[in-house]
């Protein structure tokens, strides 16, 4: 039988079909180990990392809102 363990990660960037920066996601351990972590798209979902990324996410949301306002 296949090992279907999941790990909880915090996304550092937008990942198609998974989530946006700052989202906490549960993914298969292999997907985390082989794709998300080596590409620095996600980090461990610790309280310290959540605080750090929440500040970064706020900045990104402000920039995103400014871009949207610019195009409308």
Residue range 12-38, pLDDT digits in tens: 989 999 998 889 999 999 999 999 999
Predicted TM-score (pTM) of this structure:
0.72
Average pLDDT, the chain: 90
> If DSSP codes are grouped into helix, strand and coil, which group holds residue 37?
coil
Please answer whether residues 24 and 56 qualify as being in contact, where contact means their C-beta atoms are separated by less than 8 angstroms.
no
Reading the block at residue 68, the tokens are: 């949207």
């Amino acid at each position: 039988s296949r090992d279907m363990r999941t790990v909880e990660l915090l996304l550092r960037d937008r990942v198609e079909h998974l989530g946006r920066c700052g989202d906490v996601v549960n993914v298969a351990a292999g997907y985390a180990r082989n794709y998300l972590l080596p590409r620095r798209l996600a980090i461990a979902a610790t309280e310290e990392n959540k605080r750090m990324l929440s500040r970064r996410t706020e900045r990104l949301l402000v920039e995103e809102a400014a871009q949207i306002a610019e195009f409308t």
